[in-house]
Amino acid sequence: MVTTSKREDIVYRHIKTLSLEYENKIPINILKMELEIYDEYLKDILNVLNDKGLILHKNDSIELNKLDEEIVVEDNVGSGIAIEDNKTEEEFEELELNEKERKSLNIIENLIKEDKTVPRYLLEGNLLYGELKLSNFSMYHVLLSLENNNIIKMIKKVDGDYYKLLI
């Protein structure tokens, strides 16, 4: 028995379906187009499925590994359902964040003030030109993902735009 998140299960089911058409050697670019998913998310999920032994991820192709394995899908992880604004540490640990999002969250935690806010220009500047050196698109995507997971929230103050840490 293998336990997966909803996101992992969706990707795995697509791989199973595509394996019939591509004789069990699915090109990653086909899977990416089929799922309409960002590269970094797909790579993260494929690595997890590979670690769980469900697929073999080699170069630019994917093969199914355990076809007869029973899969249990967790309800609470990666559901995309917004939890309350103030997450507990346990709920935060259950979120599926990719590596860029985790590193960005560490940067946010280092920049916040006592009121759990950080100026927008300061945070975006650190993500663009700091140690991560994200592109504009990547930075926007990371911040949007953190907002969608109710980890940060854009707020307006008298002196400008800020991000507020909600955890």
User: What is d(CA 45, CA 120) in angstroms, rounded to the nearest whole number?
Assistant: 30
- Do 89-165 and 2-73 fall under one CATH topology? yes
Which region among 43-47, 91-95, 154-158 has the lowest average model confidence (pLDDT)? 91-95
CATH number for 2-73 (one of 2.120.10.30, 1.10.10.10, 2.40.50.840, 1.10.260.40): it is: 1.10.10.10
User: What is d(CA 76, CA 157) in angstroms, rounded to the nearest whole number?
Assistant: 34
- Please state, for a pLDDT cut of 70, what percent of the chain lies above it: 85
**Domain residue extents for the chain:** 2-73, 89-165
The CB density around residue 6, as the number of other CB atoms within 10 Å, is 17
The CB density around residue 24, as the number of other CB atoms within 10 Å, is 17
φ and ψ at residue 26, rounded to 5 degrees:
-90, 125
- Write down the pTM of the prediction: 0.48
pLDDT tens sequence across 49-77 = 999 889 998 878 898 887 677 788 875 44
Overall CATH class of domain 89-165: mainly alpha
**Residues 6+ away with beta carbon under 8 Å from 61:** 25, 26, 27, 28
